[in-house]
Amino acid sequence: MRRFAADVATLARKDLRLELRARDTLPAMLLFVFSALVVFHFAIPDSSSRLASNGLLWVAILFTALLGLGRAFVPEREHSVLDGLVLAPCDRSAIWLGKGLATLSFLVAAEAIALPAFALFFSGLGASAVAGVALADVGICLVGSFVAAMSVASRARELILPLLFLPLAIPIVIGGVGASVASGPGRYLAFLALYDAVFAILCWASFEYVVTE
């Protein structure tokens, strides 16, 4: 287990270093989420309800994550590095978890801008909504990294990723919106936690088959 954690840390650290150097994913995510919220601010009338604006926050988060996930395996595609990682004697699911953690850190950084901007343009978020965002982030990044790895081998990868990821993200949106607006958010948070746990196990168990022929 310690060995697995060390491999995950090595791989996640490598992704953060690549991003610090290339700066081609996080700035795009920050700009996108802020622009989307500005557009939503002007697109919906002042008289619209708080419920509608909460829904727009989830749209912005989901598509910002999709932007990051679309670039998640770009460095591995270059020079076929994924083959090198697959041949390394580490548990192959460490590749998925390392990528998921790196993507999670980018998404959290984007939300550090998005949530205050949302409060500025629309309304402040309660603790349950923030907890919902945190749980949703985990699910988005774990499932999204898995699907991104599946799509990287495909010629139509730009199409495959959203086509596979968005249906899988529907429960996240249901749980997240419920946690943000329902009077009893506890069951929605529990639902998100269950989703994260189930999909983490499924992705961990099946990632090996995604990266080998």
Residue 78 is given by DSSP the state G
Does residue 88 interact with another protein by CB under 8 A?
yes
Structure tokens at 203: 């992705």
Does residue 90 interact with another protein by CB under 8 A?
yes
Out of 35, 38, 83, 119, the only residue in the binding site for another protein (CB under 8 A) is 83
- Least distance in Å: CB of 84 to another protein? 3
Does residue 87 interact with another protein by CB under 8 A?
yes
Which of 47/212 has CB closer to another protein? 212
User: Buried b / exposed e across 154-179, counting CB within 10 Å, b at 16+?
Assistant: eeebeebbbebbeebbebbbebbbbb
Out of 78, 155, 156, 167, the only residue in the binding site for another protein (CB under 8 A) is 78
Out of 31, 86, 109, 130, the only residue in the binding site for another protein (CB under 8 A) is 86
Does residue 52 interact with another protein by CB under 8 A?
no
Residue 51, number of CB atoms within 10 A of its CB: 10
Handedness of CA 144, 145, 146, 147 (dihedral sign): positive
Does residue 89 interact with another protein by CB under 8 A?
yes
CA neighbor of 38 nearest in space, from 106, 112, 118: 118
Binding mask 10-49 for another protein (x = CB under 8 A): x---x--xx--xx---------------------------
Which of 86/160 has CB closer to another protein? 86
- Least distance in Å: CB of 21 to another protein? 5
* C-alpha distances in Å from residue 85, one per residue of 78, 155, 202, 211: 13, 21, 21, 10
Which of 85/189 has CB closer to another protein? 85
Does residue 212 interact with another protein by CB under 8 A?
yes
The phi-psi region of residue 12 (left if phi > 0; otherwise alpha if psi is between -120 and 50; otherwise beta) is alpha
CA 26 to CA 36: how far, in whole Å? 15
Alpha carbon dihedral 59, 108, 148, 204, in 10-degree steps, equals -120
Binding site for another protein (CB under 8 A): 6-7, 10, 14, 17-18, 21-22, 75, 78-81, 83-90, 212-213
